[in-house]
Amino acid sequence: MTQNELIEREIHNLYLSESRRVLATLIRLLRDFELAEEALHDAFAAALTQWPACGIPANPRAWLVSTGRFKAIDHIRRQQRFGQLSDEMAALCDTDAPEPLTDDDRIPDDRLRLIFTCCHPSLSPEARTALTLREICDLNTEEIASAYLCKPATIAQRIVRAKRKIRTANIPYEVPGPSELSERLHSVLQVIYLVFNEGYSASSGKHATRTSLADEAIRLARLLHELLPNPDVNGLLALMLLNHSRSNARTNNAGDIIPLESQNRELWDRAAINEGCQRVREALTAGPAGTYTLQAAISAVHADAPCWAETDWAEIVGLYDLLLHQQYSPVVALNRVVALSYRDGPDIALTELNALLAGGDLDQYYPAFAAQADLLRRLERFAEAARAYRLALSLTAQEPEQAFLQKRLGECEKNPPLSINTTATRL
């Protein structure tokens, strides 16, 4: 391999490892997403031209930031003849001005500012997710559209509107102060978890999972915890690691769903489990457990069980009780019912589930009716179970889930003898 080819490979590796960090700094300096993105690509193009002749600089990232900034300034000056520059853009053209200092010395990384900007509560949840995947995770619009089964044009519009809102509303590129941090951090964690859930269990489509999306969420949570150590961030990271550790066992070679109790636990990622359990312990000892930490603790109980039969269902139900006491959610209540069915029996759990369904909050949530069908099947009330399976089938667009439910429906329609316990709600 020639020297030039080695340098080109190094530039490629730098793009993979540093481009998002360079972009975040350029966005802070230039106060404009599009201008910063163009400057980023101009900087790497300049590196491809100059580094083979001059060598790789001692601090490549600083070189890329500086080059990108001056490329942007040149672009602004070329556009000056088309109209009056804003005061902010005119200030950028003062090349003798020192580089702006960080406005938040507590956390000296521009990526964290960018995360909070992309997840600002004034943006819609859909816009936050799309903008985060584009700017922080470097997914293109086609990849984001594929993950969420939208048209690329729809995703592109969301991103454009979000950038426009940030500009027109003058949303600051900064980490919020202590008085706002709790609310804003909650929004960031919500976006990361939404990204993970879509990867862990796709809402629709031909595949049960989208591994790359779950990986991106975990990578983003690692970055956030590195830059802003916090028990809630650690709890969310633990939860995602523990759930994702089962990925290799959740489907077979044909893509069919394998319920938790039937999974080959030797396929579980023990390194991810060990890290997740350690992070749960750290989060629990750091202060009052948040919702993500409690959910991670539930996943840790599953991970600690050597087999399905030895799962500590009493511990799991107790953790769900704590979670519901802290923040009620009908989905959490549903998951507690499933756990209760293995501690106290399907008949007691069915009574609680029917009362939960009567509230109407889960009318469009297919796992609720899948869980009801499973409880009825375990009680050998097959005709009622079949009706519940049909309702669950009508509410899901994910093809592997449809196949799983259809199989259970067929078993109920044939009135088979009771087989091993299987839960339609995958814990």
User: Would you state the pLDDT for residue 424?
Assistant: 40
Question: Which ranges of 344-381 does DSSP label H, i.e. alpha helix?
Answer: 346-358, 366-378
User: Would you state the pLDDT for residue 396?
Assistant: 87
Q: Pick the residue with more confidence: 357 or 424?
A: 357
Contact between 384 and 409 under an 8 Å Cβ cutoff? The reply is no
Nearest to 110 by CA among 65, 166, 170, 59: 65
pLDDT of residue 179 exceeding 90, the answer is no
Alpha-carbon 377 to chain mean position = 34
Question: Which ranges of 93-230 does DSSP label H, i.e. alpha helix?
Answer: 110-118, 125-135, 141-148, 152-168, 178-200, 211-227
Q: How many CB atoms lie within 10 A of CB 146?
A: 17
109-118, 146-155, 198-207, 314-323: which has the highest mean pLDDT? 314-323
Phi-psi domain of 253 (left: phi exceeds 0; alpha: psi -120 through 50; beta: other) = alpha
Task: Please list, in sequence order, all residues whose beta carbon lies within 8 angstroms of the beta carbon of residue 355, skipping any fewer than 6 positions away.
Answer: none
Contact between 92 and 68 under an 8 Å Cβ cutoff? The reply is no
Contact between 116 and 106 under an 8 Å Cβ cutoff? The reply is no
pTM of the model: 0.76
Alpha-carbon 88 to chain mean position = 34
Q: Which amino acid is at 264?
A: N
Q: Pick the residue with more confidence: 300 or 125?
A: 300
Contact between 396 and 362 under an 8 Å Cβ cutoff? The reply is no
The band of 210, judged by pLDDT with boundaries at 50, 70 and 90, is: confident
- Kindly state the average pLDDT of the residues 93-113: 52
The full length of the chain comes to 427
Nearest to 104 by CA among 95, 92, 114: 114
CA distance 52 to 11: 10
- Kindly state the average pLDDT of the residues 199-206: 73
The band of 199, judged by pLDDT with boundaries at 50, 70 and 90, is: confident
The Cβ-side half-sphere exposure at 267, using a 13 Å CA radius, reads 13
Q: Which amino acid is at 195?
A: V
Q: Concatenate the DSSP letters of all residues of 194-236 into one string.
A: HHHHHHHS-SEES-S--HHHHHHHHHHHHHHHHHS--HHHHHH
- Please write the tens of the pLDDT for every residue from 221-267: 998 898 788 999 999 999 999 999 999 999 888 888 899 999 999 99
The Cβ-side half-sphere exposure at 284, using a 13 Å CA radius, reads 15
Nearest to 120 by CA among 174, 157, 168: 174
CA distance 36 to 394: 46
pLDDT of residue 128 exceeding 60, the answer is yes
Span of 32-36, 260-264, 292-296, 416-420 with lowest mean pLDDT: 416-420
The band of 96, judged by pLDDT with boundaries at 50, 70 and 90, is: very low
SS3 257: strand
User: Would you state the pLDDT for residue 374?
Assistant: 96
Phi, psi of 85 (to 5 degrees): -75, 150
CA distance 417 to 378: 10
User: Would you state the pLDDT for residue 17?
Assistant: 83
pLDDT of residue 41 exceeding 80, the answer is yes
- Please write the tens of the pLDDT for every residue from 371-413: 999 999 999 999 999 999 999 999 988 888 899 999 999 999 9
- Kindly state the average pLDDT of the residues 288-296: 94
Q: Which amino acid is at 227?
A: L
| Angle between helix 125-135 and 141-148 (nearest 10) | 130
CA distance 25 to 29: 6
Question: Hey, what's the torsion of the CAs at 56, 57, 59, 61, to 10 degrees?
Answer: -60
The share of the chain scoring above pLDDT 70, in percent, equals: 88
- Please write the tens of the pLDDT for every residue from 335-362: 999 999 999 999 999 999 999 999 999 9
Contact between 284 and 297 under an 8 Å Cβ cutoff? The reply is yes
pLDDT of residue 112 exceeding 70, the answer is yes
CA distance 414 to 383: 10
Q: Give, in words, the CATH class of 328-427.
A: mainly alpha
For residue 100, give the DSSP letter.
Answer: P
The mean predicted confidence, pLDDT, of the chain is 86
Q: Pick the residue with more confidence: 132 or 199?
A: 132
- Please write the tens of the pLDDT for every residue from 50-94: 999 999 999 999 999 999 999 998 888 877 655 555 555 555 555
